[in-house]
Amino acid sequence: MSTLNYNIQSSLLAPLSNIGSGILLRLLKPFSIGDFIEIDGQVGSIERSGLQKTTIKKVDGSELKVNNSIFYQRDLHNLTSKNIIALDLKIGVSYQSNMTKVKEEIMTFFTQHERLLNSPKAKIQVSKIKNDFVELSIKPWCLLDDFLDLDAHLESQLAQYLVSKNVVLEEEQPIFSETKMLA
């Protein structure tokens, strides 16, 4: 009987929590329609904000419906008001390398770099698996004013740093080898 009561309470509390959070979102206004935000690792722009759910249009064009209570349970970053942006770095790492060490070294490099932000936290994930290496997609955050300079130089600086820490990096090899054509 107590599990039945718990299920009934849970099914009633969740919508009430979302409605209460929706009212708070309207009163406190941590974001507006069109603002670019990051919540719980998801990045996108606010499309609609209802009483129970908020719709976020993600960078890939898909929509994400978020319960309003999540905005008070997780870290919310309004990127529009903070004037920040994520960089998109790609690094190929050999299977010989210890991936835990690689991730630790990348995060150490970021914390030592004065123009990268500590929050939102940088994301590191595998984007491609190749025969001889994995390609990591790495997304640290910076101020919009620093973006162009960092975008032009940070990937090569990170690669040099990783090599200095004995991480074996790989470059993608062309599919066809260079051959001379005879006429």
pLDDT at 146 over 80: yes
Pairing label, strands 123-129, 133-139: antiparallel
**Domains of the chain in sequence order:** 2-82 (2.30.30.60), 84-164 (3.30.70.100)
Q: Give pLDDT, residue 7.
A: 53
Confidence of residue 136 (pLDDT cuts 50, 70, 90): very high
H helix or E strand, kind and range, residue 145: none
Q: Alpha carbon of 86 to those of 49, 100, 121: distances in Å?
A: 24, 23, 10
- 105-133 per-position pLDDT tens digit: 999 999 999 999 988 889 899 999 998 89
Q: Give pLDDT, residue 47.
A: 94
Give the predicted TM-score (pTM) of the model.
0.60
